[in-house]
Amino acid sequence: MALTFAGTYTALVTPFRGDGSLDLESLAKHVEWQIASGVDGVVPCGSTGESATLSHEEHVHVVRHVVEVAHKRVPVIAGTGSNSTREAIELTQAARAAGADAALLISPYYNKPSQEGIYQHYAAVAREGGLPTLPYNIPGRTASRLEPETIARLSRVPGIVAIKESGGDLTATSQTIARSAPGFSVLSGDDALTLPMLAIGGSGVISTTANAAPREMVEITRAFRAGDLARARRAHYALLPLMEALFLETNPIPVKTALALLGRIPAATLRLPLTEISKANRDRLEAALAELPRA
């Protein structure tokens, strides 16, 4: 399978049963719906997939299950990040053994490495992990930021193929795109910034919103890539209220709630320390779902 790292990739939720155990049956149905809706790939065990509360055994189990369900119809980019470089390498190697096509790694969190430390972290994972590697810049979760100069260096490391960019700074993203190696892909990690990032040279999105509205999210990237900017803008603005509602509280609280409201998963079960959505935000989320024009 040729990996292009372009288009709409869904950052999959991890469904849980009422007792908090993995609900692999619901996960399989969810992956099937995503593929039928035209997404370009799926990403299990990222932030949206509550990877921070999965055991290593569960982590590998989820990746293997998604790989089996996808059955080479779309690429599977497994979340394998950690604040420990050795652990990130081991998770990446396990994802490769499970059949994943690439690995997405959050920058090391809590220990707040320097730019050189972040560079060395990703370079080591790319060298030893055995999979095409995508760094993930999300300062709001990691307390560290991948600067454009560091990303440009990483874009020239063999095996580092793209970045998920959730820094929320289009000027910095422009600098990243301008300075990175030819062929290096920049994927939006902020759903509402997908269209602006495509306009400055981004290649797609790893999307939370696609869990609840996959066809609609795909429409943005496909319309833009087809050169139909008016259609892409219509799709963007039609989805904007839902994009905003899905981040009223910490991801994935709202998106799991949305999927339960849509009947796509049995319940919005979360693992502590995440808790259920507040009534006020649930009402706002329901209103956004009701207003969404279905493709």
- The radius of gyration of the chain from alpha carbons, rounded to an integer in Å, stands at 18
Is there a catalytic annotation at residue 164?
yes
Annotated catalytic residue, options 9, 119, 164, 256: 164
251 backbone φψ class: left, alpha, beta (φ>0; ψ -120 to 50): beta
Relative to beta strand 41-43, strand 162-165 is unpaired
Q: Please say whether the dihedral angle defined by the alpha carbons of residues 209, 215, 221 and 223, taken in this order, is positive or negative.
A: negative
Burial-class residue 108 by CB neighbours within 10 Å (0-12, 13-18, 19+): buried
42 DSSP assignment = E
* Alpha-carbon dihedral sign for residues 34, 155, 80, 109: negative
**Which residue in the list 136, 237, 256, 279 is annotated as catalytic?**
136
Token pair for 127 = 């060298």
In the beta sheet, which residues pair with residue 105? 135
Distance between CA atoms of 212 and 195, rounded to whole angstroms? 18
Structure tokens at 46: 């990222």
110 is catalytic: no
Asked if omega into 196 is within 30° of 0 (cis), the reply is no
Catalytic residues: 136, 164
